[in-house]
Every structure is written in C-alpha cells, then in structure tokens.
Amino acid sequence: MARPVHYDACLFSDPVKEMTMAIQAISRLAGAESARLLSAACAVLLGFGLVLAVGFARVDAVHNATHDTRHSAGFPCH
Amino acid sequence: MSLRFGRIAACAALAGILASLPLTLAQAWWVTPLILQAETYEDAQAGSDSLHHDSAAVPSETLVAGEAAWQPEDGWQRTLSTAAANGALGIGHALILVGLFSLRRPLGVKQGLAWGLAGYTAFFVAPGLGLPPELPGTAAADLAARQYWWLGTVLATAGGLALLFLQGRWQLRVAAVFLLAAPHVIGAPQPPALLSLAPEALQAQFRAATLVSNALFWLALGAASAGLFRRWCGTAGS
C-alpha cells in the first residue's frame, strides 16, 4: 500500500531556495517581534509617565486639581 | 507598529476611563466627604495660629499651596477636577496593563482580574503598608523622601510579582521574595512625631474607604483592559 516517495517534492529539494525563504521568514518574525516589544515599551513608559504626572504633580494648578485623587490613591501629597 | 500602538492606546484610553467611573463615584460618596471633614480641622488650625504655624510638624495645605495658584472651588469644580485626574490616572495604569498584555496575552477577563489585583498590590497595598493613605493635616516625613520610597516600593513590588508569577525558575522566585520584602525592611520615611489634626476614627474610616475604592478601581481596570484587549487587539502579535 506504501506509495513511492517523490524526492523532488521533498522539503529540502532546493536548499538555497529553502534557506532564503527561511531567512526571510525569520527576519519578518524578528521585525514583528521588535515592533511588538517597542510598542509595548512605549505604552508602559507613557503609562508610568502619566501616573507620575498625576501623582507627583509639581505645577501648582495641576497639583491642586489632582489633590483628592492623590490622597485617595495613596500618593505622598504634602 | 503604529497600528498596534494605536490599538493599545485606544484600548487603554477606554479601559482607563471606564474604570475611573466607579472610582469617581466611590470618591464622591465616601472618600471626598472625609477629606472635606479633615480640612475643617486643618482650617481651624490655620485660623487659630495664622501668624506662626509649625508647618514642619503639621503642614497646613491651604498655607503651603500659596495664594496665587488656581484651586478648584469646593463643589462641581472640585468633583470635576478629581474626575479628570482619576481618568488620567486610569489611562496611565491601563497603558501599563495593556502594554504588558501585548507581550503576554490574557486568556480571559478572569486573568484580567488577576492582573488588576497585581496592580492593586504594587501601586496601592505595598506602598500603603509603609505610607498609608493620609487625610490632609497629618504629619509626615520629607515629601521627596516619601516619593522616592513610594516609587521604589512600586517598582520593587511590580518586579517581585513578575518574577514570582511570570516565570518558573526557582532561584528567581527566591529573589522575588527578597525584592517584595526589601522596601519594608528598609522602611518608609516616618515623621519625628505622629501628629494628626483629624481624629483617629476619621483616619481609620479614610483608610477603609481608600482600600475599598482602589480595589474596586483596579478590578474594574483589569477586567476592562483584558476584555477590550481581547476584542480589539485579538489578532495583533499572535
């Protein structure tokens, strides 16, 4: 019942072509991966900056506006 | 990249605003009335010794803030300012959560609740162990010192929780326990004398109110961030 194996249809029939495709696939993944890391890092840093802007506000008007939020969220206030 | 960051930002903005709504309500009904009550003691003190006040021991905020700076008037201005500050704080926390979700996709809203609990621990419970939320008119150590301790505690707790729950090597888990304990072993900066203008019962009530309202906020934030992330950022990164 076993079928004959067609060697020319095998995965590594054309090593150069396969290698090129593999490198392309890896670099695509690496690009996607670094973009994913970059956007995650941007979001986390921006978020932390926003939290600190509210919690550690120095400008008087902003400091006064965020006063109750700071007390309620447990930030050191004054 | 831009599309993915745009989606993260949109998720975070909506989740942050949604989660800040129950926080603002809880504050309006429960937390802010306690702050206003504490300020009556503060104002009484400011009135009684307006010529010479010992601002190092018990800082009186009405005097520290200065005359020129804008201050929201009690009533809708103050409520609106607090609501806006809550929204900004919510978006900030949501950006951190959703940014991390893009590296480690939450399996569902339940896992989002766990992330919310972790945020509550890192940003509220751990710093609160050393520096509990205080009513206006409570004596405290140097502001900068307390801010550094607060920041260090948040970072150490967040790092500790990550090492404890997001990876499997036991050596790093042991390091996590040290990281979690370190800020409390070092100890938060404390004032030379524990003085408070507001009575102790009011302080206790305030601590309970902030404990509950912040828990509500973080659980809502975790659930909303995870739900929205799964809906809007479903295919990105997978």
Question: Residue B184 corresponds to which tokens in the numbers above?
Answer: 């409390």
pLDDT of residue B54: 44
Asked, for residue A78, whether it belongs to a domain, the answer is no
Mean pLDDT taken over chain B = 87
pLDDT of residue B3: 53
What percentage of chain B has pLDDT greater than the value 90? 66
To the nearest whole Å, the CA of A10 is away from the closest chain B CA by 29
B85:A68 CB<8 A: yes
B136:A71 CB<8 A: yes
**A chain contacts of residue B78, beta-carbon cutoff 8 Å:** 68
Chain B 125-144, residues with CB within 8 Å of chain A CB atoms? 127-128, 131-136, 140, 143
Please state, in angstroms and rounded to a whole number, the distance separating the CA atoms of residues B203 and B60. Answer: 17
To the nearest whole Å, the CA of B193 is away from the closest chain A CA by 16
Which of B4-13, B51-60, B192-201, B220-229 tops mean pLDDT? B220-229
Residues paired with residue B196 on neighbouring β-strands, in sequence order: B138
Least confident of B30-39, B62-71, B187-196: B62-71
Asked, for residue A5, whether it belongs to a domain, the answer is no
Residue B53 near residue B63 (C-beta atoms within 8 A): yes
pLDDT of residue A32: 80
Per residue in B97-120, pLDDT tens?
999 999 999 999 999 999 999 999
More confident: A7 or A3: A3
**Any CB–CB contact under 8 A between B214 and chain A?**
yes
B133 has pLDDT over 50: yes
Chain A residues interacting with chain B (CB cutoff of 8 angstroms): 32, 35-44, 46-56, 60-61, 63-78
A72:B124 CB<8 A: no
Residue B95 near residue B5 (C-beta atoms within 8 A): no
pLDDT of residue B67: 58
Q: How confident is the model at residue B51 (pLDDT cuts 50, 70, 90)?
A: very low
B99:A40 CB<8 A: yes
Please state, in angstroms and rounded to a whole number, the distance separating the CA atoms of residues B195 and B25. Answer: 30
Alpha-carbon separation of residue B191 from A42, B139, B149 (angstroms): 37, 6, 14
Chain B 70-109, residues with CB within 8 Å of chain A CB atoms? 70-72, 78, 81-82, 84-86, 88-89, 91-100, 102-103
Spatial neighbors of A21 by CB under 8 A, at least 6 apart, are: none
Q: How confident is the model at residue B225 (pLDDT cuts 50, 70, 90)?
A: very high
B70:A37 CB<8 A: no
Residue where the block lists tokens 């890092």: A41
Alpha-carbon separation of residue A77 from B116, B117, B135, B178, B228 (angstroms): 24, 24, 10, 28, 33
B217 has pLDDT over 90: yes
Question: Residue A67 corresponds to which tokens in the numbers above?
Answer: 């006063």
B61 has pLDDT over 80: no
Per residue in B14-49, pLDDT tens?
999 999 999 999 999 999 999 998 988 888 877 665
Domain count, chain A: 1
**Nearest alpha-carbon partner for B216 in B31, B6, B82:** B31
SS3 B35: helix
Please state, in angstroms and rounded to a whole number, the distance separating the CA atoms of residues A67 and A72. Answer: 9
Asked, for residue A53, whether it belongs to a domain, the answer is yes
Q: Average pLDDT of B164-188?
A: 95
Q: How confident is the model at residue B57 (pLDDT cuts 50, 70, 90)?
A: very low
Asked, for residue A52, whether it belongs to a domain, the answer is yes
B76 has pLDDT over 90: no
B90 has pLDDT over 80: yes
Please state, in angstroms and rounded to a whole number, the distance separating the CA atoms of residues B217 and B20. Answer: 6
Spatial neighbors of B162 by CB under 8 A, at least 6 apart, are: B176
What percentage of chain B has pLDDT greater than the value 70? 87
Per residue in A9-64, pLDDT tens?
555 567 778 777 887 888 788 888 888 888 899 999 999 999 999 999 888 888 88
B168 has pLDDT over 70: yes
Choose the mutation target among A68, A70, A75, A77 for the interface with B, i.e. most B CBs under 10 Å.
A68
- Helices B143-165 & B170-186 angle (0-180, nearest 10): 160
A8 has pLDDT over 70: no
Asked, for residue A33, whether it belongs to a domain, the answer is yes
B86:A75 CB<8 A: no
Q: Domain containing A66: what range? A: 15-73
Q: How many CB atoms lie within 10 A of CB A70?
A: 21
A47:B96 CB<8 A: yes
Q: How confident is the model at residue B139 (pLDDT cuts 50, 70, 90)?
A: confident
Spatial neighbors of B232 by CB under 8 A, at least 6 apart, are: B7, B10, B11
Write the residue in A39, A49, A69 that is nearest to B82 by C-beta. A69
SS3 B138: strand
Give φ, ψ of B105 to 5 degrees: -65, 125
More confident: B72 or B14: B14
Asked, for residue A6, whether it belongs to a domain, the answer is no
A1 has pLDDT over 90: no
B5:A43 CB<8 A: yes
**Nearest alpha-carbon partner for B101 in B121, B118, B84, B89:** B118
Q: What is the ipTM of this complex?
A: 0.85
Q: Is B204 exposed, middle or buried (0-12, 13-18, 19+ CB in 10 A)?
A: exposed
**Nearest alpha-carbon partner for B208 in B33, B30, B41, B40:** B30
Asked, for residue A8, whether it belongs to a domain, the answer is no
Asked, for residue A47, whether it belongs to a domain, the answer is yes
